Amino acid sequence: MRSEERFGRVRTLQCVVLAIFLLLAGRLAYLQLIDKRYADLARANVLRHVVQYPPRGEVFDRRGEYLVQSRECYDLMVIYSDIDKRGFDTTRLCEVLNLSREKLRRELANARMRPRAPRVVVNYISKEDKLRFDECNFRGFYTVYRTVRRYPRKVGGNLLGYVGEVTEDMLRRHPSYKAGDYVGMSGVESAYEPLLRGEKGVKIQEIDTHGAIKGSYMGGLYDSLPEPGRYIVSTIDARLQLLGEELMRGKVGAAVAIEPSTGEILMMVSSPTYDPDELVGRERGNNYMKMLRNKRHPLFNRAVKAKYPPGSTFKLVQGLIGQQEGVLRPSDTHSCHLGYTYGRKKMACHAHASPLDLRFAVATSCNAYFCYVFRDILENRKYGGVKEGFDVWREYVESFGFGRKLGSDFLDEGNGYVPDRAYYDRRYRGSWNALTVLSLSIGQDALGCTPLQLANLAAIVANRGYYYIPHIVKRIEGQDSLDRRFYERHYTKVDARHFDPIVEGMWRGVNVGGTSTRAMLPGLDVCGKTGTAQNPHGRDHSTFLSFAPKDNPRIAISVYVENGGFGATSALPIASLLEEYYLTDTIRRPELVEYVKNMNIYYPSYDR
């Protein structure tokens, strides 16, 4: 009985072992003869996933001329584990790609930390160098197609912005980016990054044991093509931009021109600026550090970030608020005896006829007249006191777009600054009145405005009371329209009828006799207002805002020149030449062009 039981157990065990063997054999046969997944996985060990970078969208000016183009270049990549350690000719590789041995040694040491991961050795390789590299067949090294920016006109460095490699902080905030990707860092490149960058693709290559490319994996079945970025048509007039940068060379400041009927920015100059090609290529890092160390800060876009006192250009706003508040009629006259005296102090003014009405006060830029107007606004009896009147005045000022962002398509647009009641309560411990803040009447004190806001003020007056949000993009590939906010009118708190005396005063200041006569262009009905902004750190700043023609205006412009002196000395001739060129397509005052170009105001140590 015992032998039979033992025999049965052995037979059972044999059957179990046989069943397991048959199961394993069957599974092995299935995997080898039928199921191809593991074969594919084995082959994947010698597959290389190569990112296909899309061409970045190009940027045109309003006439269809290239402002930004993309040109072909390559990145040199390495997979350290694939390098032929014995037969690798480092000298030859450095010669072919014009690469220093120190740079190559440093990058290979970094690549060794993750030997199977692709790493960039050097970028911005030209097509010619790439072809020479392909002939040498360096094992473990390969190239990846890229495009980099090119600037045919070499203008608009600050407004167009630049492209740079993503930082670690960007990678944390935007998981869709990967190390080695490039992204718009400022200007249009940054504001429209999602549209310009396109979508990456991938190519899967089969590599043999020697690192040579055998072909596309499975005939390219799993490859994906890159999707090019969209092109953008900007609102910029490239010719006007070029002239603006030429006229502002040698000066610190900004010039902005807007089409009043649309809010389109025709020109945006920040000076000093830079050649945008300097921030492309292998010298990009060195050039960038030089600009950072430059005390005139060429990377700083003064047109949308700087806060300047508006000076006498702000008198236009005071006149409009006074009329709307009912404390000023255009026919009201005030006397000016070389200034406005209050107590032991005096707000000085230049010589002109007296007394004078609103139109003449605008034309001659009378300080005293607008001191009277400002006091009447704040001391209006319908309010409980000066502080309540100040709050009302501030609300009017903000309706003109001051003290806040206008909402343009510049991500780094500044607010400017309009002081509030709390500011003066802190400054004067709660004890202040209209005379304490009287310098606000002529655009001084704590007021700070960006050149974009001042150009927008010119557009508001040109439109008789409203503006469109200034913007720099006119059309985007594949879109019928822009963001709807760029098509909406924004009205000030001043009725349109009150703008006529101000416009008339600006027209007289240019065409009849005032501070802006140098801006007259026969037949174009130019309207303008000069401003001389006090500067506690040196020579006064020069500013001028203008629009033309008087009716159905086509351009509104503001120019601001730091340390430029009187408004009519520096800013006015620059604005006048730009208006003439835009409206007539020519300049008939070559002597004025030479005068402006020879006007070097900032320190000669600045070196581009």
What is the DSSP pairing of strand 232-234 with strand 59-60? parallel
Q: Are β-strands 201-207 and 213-216 bridged in parallel, bridged antiparallel, or unpaired?
A: antiparallel
- For residue 299, being part of any structural domain is answered with no
Helices 386-399, 421-428: axis angle to 10 degrees equals: 130
In a domain, 402, yes or no: yes
Angle between helices 367-378 and 315-324 (to 10 degrees): 40
* Spatial separation of the C-alpha atoms in residues 311 and 543, rounded to whole Å: 8
Q: What is the CATH number of the domain that holds 217?
A: 3.90.1310.10
DSSP state of 446: T
Whether 327 and 345 map to the same domain: the answer is: yes
Q: What's the total number of domains in the chain?
A: 2
> In the predicted model, is pLDDT for residue 592 greater than 50?
yes
**Cα gap 159→278, rounded to integer Å:** 15
Residue type at position 452: L
Hey, is 562 helix, strand or coil?
Answer: coil
Average pLDDT, the chain: 90
Same domain flag for 230 and 242: no
CA distances for 513 relative to 321, 353, 506, 517, 519, angstroms: 25, 11, 10, 6, 11
- Domain containing residue 219: 47-82+93-234
Q: Are residues 388 and 269 in the same domain?
A: yes
Residues 6+ apart with CB under 8 A from 112: 80
Could you tell me what percent of the chain has a pLDDT over 70? Answer: 93
pLDDT at 608 over 60: no
User: Mean pLDDT over residues 76-96, rounded?
Assistant: 86
Asked whether the beta carbons of 121 and 77 are under 8 A apart, the reply is yes
**CA 485 to each of CA 408, 451, 488, 557: distance values in angstroms, whole numbers, following the listed order:** 9, 21, 5, 22
Which pLDDT value is given to residue 115?
86
Domain termination site, one of 217, 234, 251: 234
Q: Which of 534, 531, 376 is nearest to 445 (CA)?
A: 534
Residues 501 and 454 in one domain: yes
Note whether 229 and 313 are same-domain residues: no
- Whether 607 shows a pLDDT value over 90: the answer reads no
Q: Are 184 and 160 in contact (CB under 8 A)?
A: no
Q: What is the CATH number of the domain that holds 483?
A: 3.40.710.10
Tokens at 205, concatenated = 């290559």
Residue 557 — φ and ψ, nearest 5°?
-140, 150
Residues 342 and 223 in one domain: no
pLDDT in tens, 100-132: 889 999 999 998 898 888 888 998 898 899 999
| 430 Ramachandran zone, left/alpha/beta (phi>0; psi -120 to 50) | left
Is 377 contained in some domain? yes
| pLDDT band at residue 138 under the 50/70/90 scheme | confident
Identify the residue with better confidence: 217 or 351. Answer: 351
Residue 152: asked if its preceding bond is cis (omega within 30°), the reply is no
Largest CA distance in the chain: 140
Are 105 and 223 contained in the same domain? yes
Q: Which of 193, 218, 234 is the last residue of a domain?
A: 234
End-to-end CA distance of the chain: 108
pLDDT at 38 over 80: no
Query: Tell me, what's the pLDDT at 491?
Result: 98
- Please report which confidence band the pLDDT of residue 216 belongs to, taking 50, 70 and 90 as the band edges: confident
- Of 31-35, 141-145, 476-480, the one with minimum mean pLDDT is 31-35
326: pLDDT strictly greater than 70: yes
Contact present, 539 and 563 (Cβ < 8 Å) = yes
Query: Same structural domain for residues 124 and 219?
Result: yes
Q: Tell me the helices (H) and strands (E) count for the chain, helix number first.
A: 21, 20
- The pair of structure tokens assigned to 449 is 């405005």
pLDDT at 606: 39
Mean pLDDT, residues 123-152 taken together? 89
CA 354 – CA 572 distance, rounded (Å): 25
Contacts of residue 193, defined as CB under 8 A and 6 or more positions apart, other chains included, come to 183, 184
Lowest mean pLDDT, pick from 117-121, 210-214, 246-250, 480-484: 210-214
Query: Does residue 526 contact residue 548 with C-beta atoms inside 8 Å?
Result: yes
pLDDT at 24: 76
In a domain, 602, yes or no: no
Asked if residues 338 and 348 have their Cβ atoms less than 8 Å apart, the reply is yes
Look at residue 207 in the predicted model and tell me its pLDDT: 74
pLDDT given at position 419? 97
- Quick check: 396 and 353 in contact, CB under 8 A? no
SS3 label, residue 47: strand
- Domain co-membership, 483 together with 512: yes
Which of the listed residues 193, 210, 234 is the one where a domain comes to its end? 234
Whether 423 contacts 446, CB under 8 Å = yes
Would you state the pLDDT for residue 17? 74
Q: Do residues 479 and 278 make contact, with C-beta atoms less than 8 angstroms apart? A: no
Q: Which of 116-120, 408-412, 513-517 has the lowest mean pLDDT?
A: 116-120
Residues 187 and 333 in one domain: no
Structure confidence by residue, pLDDT tens digits, 426-475: 999 999 999 999 999 999 999 999 999 999 999 999 999 999 999 999 99
Tokens coding 351:
């010589």
Please say if the pLDDT value at position 376 is more than 90. Answer: yes
SS3 308: strand
**Per-residue pLDDT, 39:** 53
Q: Examine the domain organization and report whether 98 and 172 are in the same domain.
A: yes
DSSP label at 484?
Answer: G
Give the integer Cα–Cα distance in Å for 251 and 310: 18
CB atoms within 10 A of CB 419: 17
CA distance 572 to 577: 9
Instruction: Return the minimum-mean-pLDDT range out of 134-138, 251-255, 486-490.
Output: 134-138
Q: Do 566 and 513 fall within a single domain?
A: yes
pLDDT given at position 157: 93
- State yes or no: pLDDT of 169 exceeds 90: no
pLDDT-derived band at 44, boundaries 50, 70, 90: very low
pLDDT mean over 50-73:
93
